[in-house]
């Protein structure tokens, strides 16, 4: 029996890989004890208990970016978070800490080091966050989702994917998946998604190109996200919904996708062989461009800047691409050549190797 502490959370990009690994551990043996470590504010507060795992929490402490009163308090608050993690490790007799980044990971890494138990780091993005950079300095093993992630000694294990996404490799009935969303069973299908919150540029541009897409015989499954004010629509060649809890069926239903380039999305599309046009998030540290670099280089996707992605661009570039069945077939093969469908198994093997 092994006691695992899986640290991460905040966003779905941290929580979903954590849960995928937790499920693999539980499948391996019912005798293992699995604890998740997160914060009270993140998505883990809902997702972890819903999957049947105990969630332990520490304070949410963003790294200070400017000199203010919080910056002066941060060292003391962070030290307390490390002590809280030490107490958890001792009380639960934790054997290994596996971190996925996010606010809970950094104190967990340091607490594990103080308690002399091994740390395994998984970095989902091509550009590592500060918590995982810290943990990687003394980790027993490091797994990365993308081959171009600059962490010394890292093993390319891919992304731990949800079981329903992994199952797509075994074949899912495309016609049945389209029927699930009320789409035509025979039409070429475009999946559009900007993530759980949505992407205004993508949403507005696709909405403005509906007539062009329809005229080309392309039907659209458009997931606009929770922050969009666009109404839901269900027409014969255009279905628009706010949220999708069956992304496995959305992927199975589609021939091509338009999306941001978040780590989970890129990994899921590549593993499933779904070619896509990626529109990286234009604000921040540029990690999304790096996430999709290898896939684009291999020919499994294309990348366009946020400012370029307009209704006119869709008409001039996207429609001809989707309408070329030979090109789509080649892009599908290229995406699969880069994608890793068994990232969960690979990460679990990496963790077992340090015990």
pLDDT tens per residue across span 62-92: 888 888 888 889 899 999 999 999 999 999 9
Superfamily of domain 3-159+341-352: Glycogen Phosphorylase B; (3.40.50.2000)
* pLDDT for position 245: 85
Q: Give the rounded percent of residues in the chain with a pLDDT score beyond 70.
A: 98
Q: Look at residue 123 and tell me whether its pLDDT is greater than 70.
A: yes
The kind and range of the H/E element at 190 are strand 188-193
Cα(219)–Cα(132) distance, rounded to whole angstroms? Answer: 41
* C-alpha closest to that of 238 among 199, 260, 275, 206: 206
What's the pLDDT band for 196 if we cut at 50, 70, 90? Answer: low
Q: How far apart are the first and last CA of the chain?
A: 11
* pLDDT for position 174: 92
Alpha-carbon separation of residue 88 from 84, 93, 117, 138, 248 (angstroms): 6, 8, 13, 20, 36
Tell me the whole-structure pTM to 2 decimals: 0.92
Cβ count near 227 (within 10 Å): 14
* pLDDT for position 13: 77
Chain region(s) in the chain for CATH 3.40.50.2000 = 3-159+341-352, 165-338
**Segment 258-305, tens digit of pLDDT:** 999 999 999 999 999 999 999 999 887 889 999 999 999 999 999 999
Q: Look at residue 46 and tell me whether its pLDDT is greater than 70.
A: yes
Strand-pairing partners, residue 80, are: none
Reported residue count of the chain is 355
* pLDDT for position 197: 60
Alpha-carbon separation of residue 330 from 191, 301, 333 (angstroms): 18, 10, 5
The CATH architecture that domain 165-338 belongs to is 3-Layer(aba) Sandwich (3.40)
Q: Look at residue 118 and tell me whether its pLDDT is greater than 60.
A: yes
**Segment 334-351, tens digit of pLDDT:** 999 999 999 999 999 999
| 151 neighbors 142 (Cβ within 8 angstroms) | yes
As a whole number, the mean pLDDT across the chain is 93
Cα(169)–Cα(237) distance, rounded to whole angstroms? Answer: 26
Contacts of residue 28, defined as CB under 8 A and 6 or more positions apart, other chains included, come to 348
| 270 neighbors 247 (Cβ within 8 angstroms) | no
φ, ψ for residue 216, nearest 5 deg: -85, 0
Residue 75: burial class (beta carbons within 10 Å; 0-12, 13-18, 19+): exposed
């Amino acid at each position: 029996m092994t006691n695992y502490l899986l640290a991460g959370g905040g966003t779905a990009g941290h929580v979903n890989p954590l849960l995928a690994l937790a499920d693999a551990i539980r499948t391996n043996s019912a005798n293992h004890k699995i604890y998740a470590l997160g914060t009270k504010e993140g998505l883990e507060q809902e997702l972890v208990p819903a999957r049947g795992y105990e969630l332990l929490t520490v304070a949410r402490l963003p790294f200070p970016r400017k000199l203010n009163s919080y910056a002066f308090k941060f060292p003391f608050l962070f030290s307390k978070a490390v002590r809280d993690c030490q107490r958890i490790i001792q009380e639960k007799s934790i054997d290994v800490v596996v971190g996925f980044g996010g606010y809970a990971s950094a104190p967990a890494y340091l607490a594990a080091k103080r308690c002399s138990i091994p740390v395994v780091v998984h970095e989902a993005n091509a550009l590592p966050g500060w918590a995982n950079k810290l943990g990687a300095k003394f980790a027993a093993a490091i797994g990365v989702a993308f081959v171009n992630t600059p962490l010394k000694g890292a093993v390319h294990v891919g992304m731990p994917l949800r079981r329903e996404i992994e199952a797509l490799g075994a074949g899912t009935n495309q016609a049945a998946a389209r029927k699930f969303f009320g789409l035509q069973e025979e039409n070429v299908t475009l999946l559009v998604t900007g993530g759980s919150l949505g992407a205004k540029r993508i949403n507005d541009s696709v909405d403005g190109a509906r007539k062009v897409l329809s005229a080309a015989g392309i039907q659209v499954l458009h997931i606009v996200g929770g922050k969009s004010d666009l109404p839901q629509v269900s027409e014969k060649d255009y279905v628009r919904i706010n949220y999708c809890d069956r992304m496995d069926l959305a992927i199975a239903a589609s021939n091509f996708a338009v999306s941001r380039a978040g780590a989970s999305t890129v990994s899921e599309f590549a593993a499933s062989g779904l070619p896509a046009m990626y529109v990286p998030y234009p604000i921040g540290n540029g990690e999304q461009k790096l996430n999709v670099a290898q896939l684009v280089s291999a020919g499994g996707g294309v990348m366009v800047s946020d400012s370029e992605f307009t209704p006119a661009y869709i008409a001039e570039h996207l429609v001809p691409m989707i309408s070329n069945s030979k090109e789509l077939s080649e892009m599908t093969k290229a995406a699969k050549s880069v994608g890793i469908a068994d990232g969960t198994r690979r990460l679990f093997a990496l963790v077992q190797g340090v015990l």
